[in-house]
């Protein structure tokens, strides 16, 4: 079965049209204390420098699409923060080969 995580595109004002379905499908390990979901939470609240992310895909278009879905999920108001954190952690686990060391985003 192909993962439904990146099946669509972000909506114009944030969110994913299928985000509620993703929250229902999200594996239980992402709904409790988990390194992927913890990292996603830090990205949501503090931003992150993604330069150290180790992607599973070498295809730039695939990576940009996955990153767009991740950021669109971040911008939704239709899910609880707990569900957003869980789905975002699941996304990261499918996008990246390892949980990155947290590096804050650069402030201009």
List, for residues 34-69, the tens digit of each pLDDT value. Answer: 999 999 999 988 888 888 899 999 999 999 999 999
SS3 content of the chain, % helix, strand, coil (to 5): 55, 5, 45
Q: How confident is the model at residue 29 (pLDDT cuts 50, 70, 90)?
A: very high
Residue pair 54/100 in contact by the 8 Å Cβ criterion: yes
pTM, full prediction? 0.88
CB 93 within 8 A of CB 3: no
Which pLDDT score is estimated for 107? Answer: 57
Q: What is the mean pLDDT of the chain?
A: 88
């Amino acid at each position: 079965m192909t993962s439904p995580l990146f099946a669509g595109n972000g909506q114009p004002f944030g969110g994913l049209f299928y985000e509620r379905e993703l929250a229902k499908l999200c594996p239980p390990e992402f709904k409790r204390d988990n390194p992927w979901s913890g990292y996603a939470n830090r990205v949501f609240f503090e931003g992150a420098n993604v330069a150290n992310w180790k992607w599973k895909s070498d295809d730039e278009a695939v990576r940009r699409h996955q990153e767009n879905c991740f950021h669109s999920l971040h911008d939704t108001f239709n899910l609880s923060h707990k569900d957003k954190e869980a789905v975002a952690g699941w996304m990261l686990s499918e996008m990246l080969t390892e949980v990155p060391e947290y590096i804050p985003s650069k402030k201009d």
